Structure 1
Amino acid sequence: MVDNFERAKTSIKTETEGEEKIHNSYQGIYKQFVEIMKALGVVAVDTVGKEFDPQVHESIMQEESTVYQKV
């Protein structure tokens, strides 16, 4: 979910006053969301290059690869 917030953040342009207000409002909501997640003990999980662990990770798709093969 944080990834979606961060993607949305990059799409906001602050070239006009109205867009700057949207950006500032977004920043406030994003900061509040992150603080709530931290208070609940939610932390980011390092996943890149790691073996898939269904106890920790959530699968969203499956793709064949020769990069990360079990030996």
Structure 2
Amino acid sequence: MTAAEATPNPLIPAVYDVAWAVALAVGLALLAVALVHLARRKDTTPTETALWALVVLAAPLVGPAVYLLIGRRRQDAQP
């Protein structure tokens, strides 16, 4: 094996670069969906909305997931 064959092609991203890009895209999508859903809710007080927005923004990956899994249940439970 020659030295030219051993060096990776710099134009092809490494697997971890692709994984980070996908994680970033998923995180941004979750953040956007959670904030839009939160802004459109009519059944929460301004204080509740502010607290949920703080949770969503303070923890970029976990916050939106927690809001979408737990925070939406209150609205869905009401007739």
Q: Which structure would you say has the larger RCO, counting Cα contacts within 8 Å and 6 or more residues apart?
A: 2
TM over 0.5: no
> Could you say which structure has the larger radius of gyration?
2
Higher helix proportion, which one? 2
TM-score (norm 1): 0.40
